[in-house]
């Protein structure tokens, strides 16, 4: 396999590709869609041209990966060894890319890449890509952790599928790609959900995600602690209910936790920073808007912020219901959104309810379900919320799942987590 730098002269008889040829192919790669010309020029600067003769391997299954490839001319077959021989996974052509996991981690190649014809490639090394991103930054470390989690989950999924296929003597062929991605998505979402709901002094808290067995895993809940010591609880929903929904949830979850680890003036500033990060890493066709609601707790006061159509209400002990909606766009929906938050004074038995899906007359129906009732705990209130109405047609939860959160103010005192 012959190579030359993106701007250098060819070596060993390799054919030099024109800048225009390479730029056209870069624009066709899903990973680079939405990038400006300056960004593409920078990628071109750190790239190398490579020629692979027909019948030659670019890399083989199991090898450690350290390059990402874009096909400029020719064809590459991705193939995988099986107990019965070699199985063809795909044939890629000009404008398509492969080996992208190598940009972040040295995970073993999951398949072999064989040139079917004389092929010209553009390659980017992991070292050059890392330097372009700024070296060992927080963003790079988060991306590496996410890619490791995705790779580990895919390995687990592949193992489960192999076992299932062995048990299905009447159906030896793998499931469709859609089913595989859906299952991968559900496994990833399961890894995101907290194992338990933390206890917070002065509050009674219940949270849950109800999922269909064949749902796409598009909602979740989470919690973390802000630098000022306040516990914060979130509900999130991917704006599109598809096979990549949980991957979007995973990205937003890590960005929220990373932003929460540094001082922020308020939850609005935290959401603004996360939105900016979402847009910076946006990939058309893969990225998508994510709806988020966050409640941070202090002594008798809560701060609320939402991005997108998350249902948020306060049900007062004296029978009043307040809609918390701030009518702000979902994360990633707009580039330069400045988010605002609101402060809520809570009396004894007042409840905050957050729900990832809009129900018909949400504030009224949910508030009526949980208002009053001195002996009504948050867990019972949560059950009532989830049974309080029909979902909005076309919503995520109509096809998959719902996540909800109920926070009840119990006794005065600064909140502490146990």
- Identify which of 374, 324, 332 has the alpha carbon closest to the alpha carbon of residue 354: 324
- Which residues lie below 8 Å from residue 142, measured CB to CB, with a gap of 6+? 254, 255, 258
pTM for this predicted structure? 0.60
- For the chain, give the mean pLDDT: 76
Tokens 């296929």 correspond to: 165
Indicate the range of 12-21, 84-93, 213-222 predicted with least confidence.
Answer: 12-21
Confidence of residue 295 (pLDDT cuts 50, 70, 90): very high
Per-residue confidence band for 176, with pLDDT thresholds at 50, 70 and 90 = very low
Cα–Cα distance, 5 to 123 (Å, whole number):
9
β-pair partners for 92: 76
Question: How many angstroms separate the CA atoms of 286 and 245, rounded?
Answer: 9
Mean pLDDT across the stretch 206-222? 77
Q: Per-residue pLDDT for 191 more than 50? A: yes
Query: What does the block give as tokens for 381?
Result: 């209130």
**99-103, 170-174, 352-356: which is most confident:** 352-356
Split at pLDDT 50, 70, 90, the class of 383 is confident
Query: Of all residues in the chain, what percent carry a pLDDT higher than 90?
Result: 26
Cα separation of 22 and 18, whole Å?
A: 6
Cβ distance 189 to 251 under 8 Å?
no
DSSP SS3 for 273: helix
């Amino acid at each position: 396999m012959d190579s030359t730098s993106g701007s250098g002269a060819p070596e060993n008889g390799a054919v030099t590709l024109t800048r225009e040829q390479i730029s056209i192919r870069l624009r066709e790669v899903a990973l680079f869609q939405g990038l400006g010309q300056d960004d593409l020029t920078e990628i071109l600067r750190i790239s190398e041209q490579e020629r692979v003769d027909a019948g030659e391997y670019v890399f083989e299954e199991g090898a450690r990966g350290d390059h990402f490839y874009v096909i400029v001319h020719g064809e590459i077959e991705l193939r995988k060894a099986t107990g019965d021989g070699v199985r063809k996974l795909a044939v890629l052509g000009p404008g398509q890319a492969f080996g992208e996991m190598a940009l972040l981690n040295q995970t073993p190649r999951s398949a072999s890449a064989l040139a079917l014809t004389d092929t010209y490639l553009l390659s980017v090394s992991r070292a050059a890509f890392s330097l372009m991103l700024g070296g060992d930054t927080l963003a790079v470390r988060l991306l590496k952790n996410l890619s490791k989690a995705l790779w580990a989950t895919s390995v687990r999924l592949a193992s489960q599928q192999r076992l299932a296929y062995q048990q299905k003597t009447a159906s030896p062929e793998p499931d469709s790609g859609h089913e595989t991605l859906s299952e991968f998505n559900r496994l990833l979402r399961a890894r995101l959900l907290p194992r338990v709901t933390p206890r917070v002094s002065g509050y009674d808290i219940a949270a849950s995600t109800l999922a269909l067995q064949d749902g796409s895993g598009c909602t979740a809940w989470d919690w973390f602690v802000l630098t000022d010591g306040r516990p914060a609880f979130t509900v999130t929903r991917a704006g599109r209910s598809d096979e990549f929904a949980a991957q979007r949830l995973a990205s937003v979850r890590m960005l929220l936790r990373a932003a929460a680890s540094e001082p922020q003036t308020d939850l609005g500033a935290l959401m603004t920073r996360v939105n900016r990060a979402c847009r910076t890493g946006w990939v058309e066709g893969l990225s998508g808007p994510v709806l988020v609601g966050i409640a941070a707790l202090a002594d008798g006061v809560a701060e609320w912020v939402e991005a997108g159509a998350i249902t948020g209400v306060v049900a007062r002990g004296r029978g009043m219901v307040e809609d918390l909606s701030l009518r702000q766009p979902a994360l990633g929906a707009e580039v330069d959104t400045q988010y605002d938050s609101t402060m809520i004074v809570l009396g004894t038995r007042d409840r905050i309810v957050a729900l990832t899906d809009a129900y018909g007359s949400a504030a009224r129906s949910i508030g009526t379900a949980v208002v009053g009732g001195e002996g009504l705990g948050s867990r019972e209130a949560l059950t009532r919320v989830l049974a309080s109405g029909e979902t909005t047609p076309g919503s995520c939860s109509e096809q998959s799942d719902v996540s909800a959160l109920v926070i009840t103010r119990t006794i005065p005192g600064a909140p502490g987590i146990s």
